[in-house]
Structure 1
């Protein structure tokens, strides 16, 4: 039997994130390193979702639970779902250290196994660009939301940088080559950078997860009141404190967004 033939793209993505777990929280842009950044993220979530007030939130591809804890902080009752057990191990440790009752489940964000109409809110950050079948995923998220429930996606197009982002990226690469900046290790050690590029070339959004295409697929899945929000300046401003100047400017000029949508009543 050819074992490689049974190793699907989704298996490869799962293995990639499992290996990334060990260093995931060391990287700015993943973990939160200041109360200012935490407040900026909370403000974004409150702007789109309101305060939790005990409502149930399902945080998909929760990773080490950065977003799960933000939701918990603003009053949601949170279930985090991820298919990489090493990520969930770290997520559970964080919740235990903070003595927070966040539930974590092993599962696939595209096939959650959650009951129909069971979530008031569904969230995810930097998941959509990795989806193999986003149309099916969006229908799944619509299914598990209660009527009137809200979806919030935080993501971006990391394939097609604009002119300013390209300029800052080139300057950053040059500074690293000259030894003026530390090497960028955003994809983790060794061959993981190549693995990341290989995965990105084969997912649905291999040409970039543009906000307008995500919004179109959400409409087809039955969502309404779709709101695309490019105002992430407060978050980027706080994150720049933990990046080099050039890397911070590169991120701030990328096509990054939050998209909220509603399941009709």
Structure 2
């Protein structure tokens, strides 16, 4: 971010509350829960094409309920997931337990994950980069967690155009990149 600009401020508590409230129904959306076989297969194929051939240590930032994390773990990757919403991280943990998969999930700031000195082969971010007040700082934090030769996988989109009507999920969200 240029030195003369100011990062937009966000209300972290409001964002956490929003996603906590959404946790129980989050997987009902086709692209979140990946319950529809066609969607699940498409995601599995796409993720496989991006991942290293060997089992990798993966950090899924903004992991939500762990649907992408689960696809990776089913293919032998070792997954750590971080989400700002404790209920999302709990759902992910429960999903892994029910499937008999190993994985580590925690609540924390996905823009600066609480993974201490862990270095990983892959950092995965899906539909998250638009939310941090300082996306460039988040990218630096994610890259810093990669081992030499590691991969940063960003899955992003554009769902709402500037000027489109509709209430953002938190005040100030419309000013985020």
* Same-fold call, TM cutoff 0.5: yes
The Cα shift of 1:56 comes to 0.3
Matched, 1:85 2:86: yes
The structure richer in helix per residue is 1
Contact residue 10 and residue 133 of structure 2 kept, 8 A? no
Q: Which residue of 1 aligns with 2:46?
A: 44
2: CA distance between counterparts of 1:128 and 1:41?
19
Aligned residue number for residue 134 of structure 1:
135
User: Is this contact kept in 1: 2:63–2:82, CA < 8 A?
Assistant: yes
Q: Secondary structure at the match of 1:201?
A: helix
- Give the CA RMSD over aligned residues: 2.2
Per the alignment, residue 33 of structure 1 pairs with 35
CA spacing shift, 1:60–1:142, aligned 2, 3 Å: same
3-state SS of the aligned residue for 2:58? Answer: strand
1:197 deviation in Å? 6.4
In structure 2, the partner of 1:172 is none
Seen in structure 2, the aligned counterparts of structure 1 residues 199 and 95 have a Cα distance that, compared at 3 Å, is: farther
Task: Provide the residue aligned with 2:6 in structure 1.
Answer: none
Structure 1 residue 199: deviation in Å?
A: 4.6
Aligned-residue offset at 1:195: 4.8
Alpha-carbon deviations, 1:8-32, whole Å to 9, x = none? 5222212211111121111122111
Distance 1:50 1:106 in 2: 26
Structure 1: gaps of 5 or more residues: 1-6, 167-192, 206-265
Q: How far apart, CA to CA, are the structure 2 residues paired with 1:195 and 1:158? A: 12
**Aligned residue pair count:** 167
Larger C-alpha radius of gyration, 1 or 2?
1
Residue 147 of structure 2 aligns with which residue?
Answer: 146
TM-score for the superposition, normalised by structure 1 = 0.58
SS at match of 1:108: coil
Moved more, 25-34 or 134-143: 25-34
* CA shift for structure 1 position 116: 4.2
